[in-house]
Amino acid sequence: MPFAAALARHTDQNPHAPAFHMEGRVFTFQELALCAGQIVSAFGKLTVNAQNENVLPGATKLIALEIGNHPLFAPAFVAATSGGHCVALIDPHLPEATRAAMRRQLRPDIVVRADGEGLLLGTPLADKGTAFAAGTSDDSSPLAIGADDEPFLVVFTSGTTGMPKAIVRDRGSWRRSLKTGQDFFGIDSDTRTFAPGPLAHGLTLYALAETLVAGAEFVGMAHFDAARASETIAAMDVRRLVLVPTMLRRLCASSSALTSVQKITVAGAKLTPADREAAAATFPRADIVEYYGASELGFISVAGSGDTASATAVGRAFPCVGLVVLDEGERPLPAGETGTIFVDSDLIALGYIGAGDGAGLRRVGKLATVGDLGFLNADGTLHLVGRSGGMVLSGGNNIYPQEVEATLADHADVHAAFVLGLDHPDLGSELVAVIEPNAVTIDRAALDRHLDIHLPRYKHPRRIWLCRALPMTQSGKVAAGTLKQWIVDGHDALEPFV
């Protein structure tokens, strides 16, 4: 069912049921629909008689939401995805230079930013703007239902060059995904869902969409804090959690038994046996489901408690998804042999906006891949053994080491840098770096300021070593294996940089 149609049905049938709860602000379904309609009206006034100059084809208006986990996120998102609109989600915690580059690439018709408890709506090209506060306008436009092939969502994923890649989806792919997911996960109007992650990222955004379509209440947080999250779960009788493993671990470490939770959905990294044991103690009534997916591909595989015994197993194909592993010649491989994971699915994104960086989504006929490596067992269990482009998955965040290396090497006192991920019991992988300096000394505070300007905090190496001469292979590349061994051994060639 289309998003707008589902909201209209819940507004008619359960107008006073809570729909969206963020930092003390609660919207009922009726209030959500009204506020979204008021924002649609405000959008129309800003762009009346304006010609489209955004990057999308056709007459679609592109609305950039740059507000993060704001109390008005839900109505703004609903308005920005009304028929004829496409929403682009820009994380406000990214460096301003990165966000400016994203806006230049998209050329949005309207940019929405936070303004205290309200919003600022601006048209960059016409240099017009207006403030919006919930309940202050009598003008409201109906929410329109767009066509399946209409672009409606742009999300960003990490790129190898430092510039996030813009992925565009049509309405049909999400409508099919929401229907399949609702049936599979068993979500209904009683499934109050707590998803404390950033709404600019796919996991939490999708949790919001599937919860509202089911007629249930979505609960979010401006910033994740384990103690506050535990209090929220207990006080609000939360039935379902959607989060990354790092958040689940921290909840388990700071909480006593929370018996209201019946379902836990985890994505972004694989749970360990210890994670599942801790979760079973903290959430004794909850079934835990992990899924492996990609922003470009949607759901790929899903795993329950008995499907992840192997350290690499990520479950079986998600309903309505086909899996195949191909070799370098794009030929199917037999069970047990490692190659590139491809999916056959109706949930795949349209593609990237712009030229991209040569990595990521690739199609072979009706199959698609993002370059992840793995193999299939004879029973259909998928094993993930490598991420595309050497990507590091840390705390649920995708990080390309090349981007961090380039940023470090751009500092005047750094000659070269090598960035890698090391196994970490909480984060999955811990991002670390080894730097070959230009000078005898490096100002650590200056280097940290340099990283703050160019990278979000989650892309900063958690540990750094100095190395006067990075070990090299005969082909002139950094000897990654040697460096990893030096780190493990505490080799004298590496000096902790504190």
- Residue 405's nearest CA partner among 350, 363, 321, 464 is 464
- Residue 246's nearest CA partner among 425, 72, 463, 45 is 425
CA dist 70 and 64 (Å) reads 14
- Residue 325's nearest CA partner among 301, 296, 349 is 301
CA dist 129 and 11 (Å) reads 30
CA dist 93 and 452 (Å) reads 11
Q: What's the pLDDT at 131? A: 94
Number of neighbours of residue 176 by Cβ within 10 angstroms: 16
Angle ∠(211,215,218) on CA atoms, nearest 5: 40
Give me the phi and psi of 472, to 5 degrees please. Answer: -125, 150
Q: What's the pLDDT at 308? A: 63
Q: 0.85 exceeded by the pTM?
A: yes
- Residue 158's nearest CA partner among 419, 406, 400, 421 is 400
Q: What's the pLDDT at 309? A: 64
Helix (H) or strand (E) holding 488: helix 480-489
Question: What is the DSSP code (8-state) at residue 404?
Answer: H
CA dist 198 and 212 (Å) reads 17
Structure tokens at 129: 């703007």
Per-residue pLDDT of the chain (498 residues; tens, 9 = 90+): 678 899 999 999 999 999 999 999 999 999 999 999 999 999 999 998 888 889 998 899 999 999 999 999 999 999 999 999 999 999 998 889 999 999 999 999 999 999 999 999 999 877 788 999 988 778 899 999 999 999 999 999 877 666 789 999 999 999 999 999 888 888 999 999 999 999 999 999 999 999 999 999 999 999 999 999 999 999 999 999 999 888 998 899 888 899 999 999 999 878 878 788 999 999 999 999 999 999 999 999 999 877 766 778 899 999 999 999 999 899 999 999 888 999 999 999 999 998 766 678 999 999 999 999 889 999 999 988 777 667 888 988 888 787 888 889 889 899 889 999 998 888 889 999 999 998 778 999 999 999 999 899 999 999 999 999 888 765 567 888 889 889 988 999 999 998
Q: What's the pLDDT at 403? A: 80
CA dist 382 and 325 (Å) reads 9
CB 402 within 8 A of CB 391: no
CA dist 311 and 330 (Å) reads 26
CB 398 within 8 A of CB 391: yes
CA dist 393 and 424 (Å) reads 11
Q: How large is the angle between the packed helices 444-454 and 401-409, nearest 10 degrees?
A: 130
CA 147 to chain centre: 25
End-to-end CA distance of the chain: 54
| All residues at 6 or more sequence positions from 54 whose CB lies less than 8 Å from its CB, including other chains | 60, 61, 62, 106, 107, 108, 109
* 321, 327, 332, 336: CA torsion to nearest 10: -80
Q: What's the pLDDT at 476? A: 63
CA dist 2 and 372 (Å) reads 31
CA dist 264 and 226 (Å) reads 16
CA dist 92 and 64 (Å) reads 11
